[in-house]
Amino acid sequence: MWIDLDGLVNLRDVGGLPTTDGNKIIPGRLLRSANLQTLSNSDVDQLLGLGVSDVIDLRSDYEADREGPTLLASSGVRIHQFSLFREWQLGVGDSKPDVRPEVMPEEALPWIDLEPNAQLDNEMASVYFSYLMDRPDSVLAALRTIARAPGAALVHCAAGKDRTGTVVALALSVADADRQAIIDDYVASSERVEQVVQRLMASQTYADNLRDRPLSSHLSHPETMISLLAHIDEAFGSVPQMLIKMGWTSEDNEQLRAKLRN
């Protein structure tokens, strides 16, 4: 369900999505959006009115530092930042590790074309799966924050479609949302991607990175989410089984399911 605010064009509630047993994800529990930097005072009031208690920010440290805090940060809402990039800074005398290179701070932006550390049958799905392999700590922390939020949890990144789409798809999978509904929710961001890119282009943080990229490169294609979830099923059996290998527990599973279904 789309929610229109002055400063957000990609905000929606995943409540109402069907589950595999004929029920629905409960509205007002999990929201998803793009960058929150352009919120107005009215937007903050509306988000508080929607019961938002926790924000899960999936942007990199670099993005968050460059953009600064949002108006929502001073409203009593708890802000949790869980970067999905492998960021590092060299200290005095440090040298680069002899492993897959980490993302340098000045490069910790989406759309920088880093080589993913996993190769699926879909290029963007490879990037998404690399988020899970590179930062399992952030993935689990984000899902646990959704599960334990006393009010609505709002997940966002820059555009609200790739990093956000990955984490939301995992949460919905744990809650047994219908697979096609998960894919359709992911694809829905394409409806407003032009407005999202226009807003990000107004930010010095993202403008240079986006300027020469065609709008078509930002679309959310169903094949991407189909490939990601199919790979997880094939490699691990299911999303919950993959999460368990990452450190997820049965209690975590029950909490997230209760949050989104009960």
| CB of 94 closer than 8 Å to CB of 108 | no
pLDDT of 10 reads 92
d(CA 123, CA 105): 24
Residue with tokens 């970067």: 83
Q: Where are any strands of DSSP class E within the chain? A: 12-13, 30-33, 52-57, 78-81, 152-156
What pTM was computed for the model? 0.90
pLDDT of 118 reads 77
H or E element, residue 208: helix 207-210
Sequence letter at residue 74? S
pLDDT of 90 reads 42
pLDDT of 91 reads 44
Q: What is the pLDDT along the chain (262 residues), one digit of tens a residue?
A: 899 999 999 999 999 999 999 999 999 999 999 999 999 999 999 999 999 999 999 998 888 888 888 899 889 999 999 999 876 544 444 444 444 445 544 556 665 556 667 789 899 999 999 999 989 999 999 999 999 999 999 999 999 999 999 999 999 999 999 999 999 999 999 999 899 888 888 888 888 877 888 878 889 999 999 999 999 999 999 999 999 999 999 999 999 999 999 7
pLDDT of 40 reads 93
d(CA 24, CA 46): 24
pLDDT of 113 reads 53
pLDDT of 1 reads 85
What are the tokens at 231? 């790979």
H or E element, residue 258: helix 250-261
Q: Which domains does the chain have, with CATH numbers?
A: 12-85+102-261 (3.90.190.10)
Which whole-number Å values give the CA distances from 195 to 97, 131, 191, 200, 205, in the listed order? Answer: 40, 25, 9, 9, 17
